[in-house]
Every structure is written in structure tokens, then in C-alpha cells.
Amino acid sequence: MKYKIFTLLMVLMASSSYSKYIQNVDSVQIRKIFDMALEKGEAYENLRTLCKGIGHRLSGTAAADSAVNWGYKLLSSMNLDTVYKIPVMVPHWNRGDVEEASVQSTGKRLKITALGGSVGTKGALISEIVFSNGLDELKSLGVEKIKGKIVVFNDAFDPKKINTFEAYSACVGQRYSGASEAAKYGAVAVLVRSMTNKIDSHPHTGSMGYSDPNLKIPAAAISTEDTEYLFRKYGENPGLKVSLKLTCETLKDKPSFNVVAEIKGSKSPQTIITVGGHLDSWDIGEGAHDDGAGIVHSIELLRLIKAGGYKPAHTIRVVLFMNEENGNKGGETYASWVKERGEHHLMALESDAGGHTPRGFSISSSDDQLASISAFRSLLEPYGCHVFRKSNWGGGVDINPLKLNEKISINKDMILMGFIPDSQRYFDYHHAATDVFENVHQRELELGAASIAAMIYLMDKYF
């Protein structure tokens, strides 16, 4: 395979003067990419337009439609080889206009927000609460302590985890499955500690699901600050009652689109490199880091290729996916579409971890492929990209079906990558009202776009 030949070539080059020439050529090209992104970058202003001109854009909403139109119009203006849309049917969940919770004995209003996919309360629901430190503790509490109560899930981020995504992964199960699991023990609703390592007053929404259509109870996220408050009050009064009112509902699926743009390959146009992020966002905040940053990173990649005069060997395809947040219909539809067309993919890369300072890439590949890609580290380290981490979970929700979904998978040898920015502040904003344009740093965003473009340049040239 070509990547094995490349591995051998890199070994031979390491002991020859030719390696210095090759590295110099690549260093000059990568420097050019970063200079263009930092001096004349357009990612930041594109993000401003997406966030301030459209705002949050949950699948099925008019704002999501506007985002599709914005992406298609912008890409069509860039003199690319082709721009088109792929139809996608997406879920349509409506938050409603009431999200209220309060402590009965004190009257304190609690900062909450419904979890995506939750049912409403059908009026005010008033009940005692019981705390559970994650899903595992439900069994020890049992029906006797849970039935008729609101379960408050309080499994917090582990502060010892340097990679905050690991802390998130360890406790996000209570957000997604908490309502279904608590309902089995007779709970009437759940409040879930927000998925953040910051103690503040902002609730963080996110997706949840029901495993049994006959056991659907309301589910809301509660701010970390108010979770801590409730826990203190519960310690003083185990009979503490909370009033909860939600008017959210699930409506019929609606038609939408993935937006696609391509620069055709000059040597192997039939081989595809896909890069993307997701257009949809939760309906609070502006979806700036999640995933406006990934969207403008991907668009900027195409602009940098065009502006730099680089002629890619393979077809570079950017996909603005729809419906990552609550269904992944865009990712699944794209993978099925690719399979039906019989396309060959070399790799896919997703940016869906925010717009903070670049640190590197997660890589789902064979060991031989990983060794070849790791040879790029010396070229990207000067720009802060030193992490080349093997991934067992793929490169991102939208691109994973291309390889990891057995019913869809197009070829097992393809490489999946995820862009890794610094994660320390990401969950300050993730799925919260604070995920707004003002909380994205221009230079960090531009560095991210350039890092992705540099990686795609190297992958296109050597694989």
C-alpha cells in the first residue's frame, strides 16, 4: 500500500541529505499556510456572520435552514470546482417557552434547561428529590428511595483528568441515559448536573434518549452552582421538594441538507479526502465553539488551498454536516451516500472540539499508518501541534460512520482524524448560553484552521 511505501521512504530519507531538501520544501509550504491564515484569514469573520447573523441553529428550525443557505452561498462564491447539497431528514425537537424550577421551601429559582429530546412536564411537577452519584448508584438506591421522586444526578467531572474530554466521557452517560434508567425505578423526572468542570450559573444542555417509549420522564440540566446548592439543602432536609415545569416537545422530522464543496484532485480525483464540521448547534448560545469553529476551519481549508496555489493530488471535499447534536442523520446519510456511489476515501478529518489553541490530532488507523503520520510531527511542532494520539473511537461523530458503522462502512483502511485543540476551557461553553462568538479567540481560531490545512497538505502529498 502507498502508506507502507511512504514509511520506507521516510526511513531512507532520514539518513540522507535528500531529507533536508524535502523537509525544507514542506516547511516552506506549511509556513506559507500559517502566514496566509494569520495575516489574511477569513475564518473569524465567517464565524462572526454565522453566530451573529444566524445564531443558534438546532436541526429542524428556520435558523438551521438559514445556516444551510449561508454555507452554500459562501462556498459557491469561492470559485471551487463544485458545490452541492445532499438531502437529509432530521429530527425536530422544540424547547418550548417555559423552563422553570424552584425549591419549594425557599422559593429559590434554579437555573435549568431542558435536555434535547426530553418530554415536557404537562404542567408543574412538584416532588421530593433524591441524589444519585451517576447511573451506577441507582441500583443501590432502589425503588424504595426513588419511586415518585425527582432524581438529581451529581456525578461531577474528575478534576484530575488533564484531558477534559476524558472527564466528560466518564459522566455524560447520566445525561443521555439518566431519565430512562431512573424511570425504571419509578422516578418522575431527572435533573442532571451540567457537563462542565466549572462551577457557575449556566446550565448546559445536550442530547438524551429514551430506551423504552413507555417510560418517558422529563429531563433537564441544572447548573453546577445550583447542583451544589441543592446538595447542601438536601443534606439539611432530605424531604426537600422541587417544582419543575417544561414545555418541550418532539415534532415531525423535517428535510434539511449537508452542504458539500470540492477541489478536484489533479492526479487521483477518484480518491477523496473529507474534512468537515457540523452546521447545527443547540438552541442556546450561538454554537460558536460547537461547532461554528469546525465549520469555518473547514471552509478556510479550501480558501487556503486556493489562495496558496496548491494543486492537491486527491479530491479535497468539505462537508458541512447537519444534525450532529441530536441524531447524526447528516453523518449517517453522508456515509450511505458515499457507499452507494462506490467512492474510495483515503481519510476523513473532523473539527468538533472547539476553536481553542491547536495541540494536534487524534488518529484512528493501523499502526503502520500511525507511524507514517507521526513522521509529520517535526513539521507541525513549531506551530504547537505535538499530539499525535491513537484513537479507538474514531475522528468525530459525523465522520465515524464512514469506517466504524458496519452497516455503512466503505473501507476499513481509511484513516479517521479528529482535530485536537486545548481542552481546558472548552466545557466552560459546551452546550451553554455562553457558547458565543465573543468567547472564541481570533488567533487561536486561525491557528486551528492553518493546522488542519497543513495536515491535509501533508496527507495529500504523501499518502
Residues designated as active site:
324
> Which alpha helices (DSSP H) does 326-441 contain, by range?
329-341, 367-374, 377-380, 426-429
Chain centre to alpha carbon of residue 78: 26
214 CB-side CA count, 13 A? 1
Judging by DSSP bridges, how do beta strands 219-222 and 189-193 pair with one another? parallel
Q: Kind and range of the H or E element at 44?
A: helix 43-48
CA-CA-CA-CA torsion sign (80, 81, 87, 91): negative
The angle that helices 137-146 and 173-183 make with each other, rounded to 10 degrees, is 40
CA 128 to chain centre: 35
Coil, helix or strand for 303? helix
Instruction: Please answer whether residues 390 and 418 qualify as being in contact, where contact means their C-beta atoms are separated by less than 8 angstroms.
Output: no
The values of phi and psi at residue 360, to 5°, are 155, -145
Tell me the sheet residues that pair with 132: 153
Cβ contacts of residue 325 below 8 Å, gap of 6+? 58, 59, 116, 206, 207, 278, 280, 281, 282
In contact, 296 and 369? CB cutoff 8 Å: no
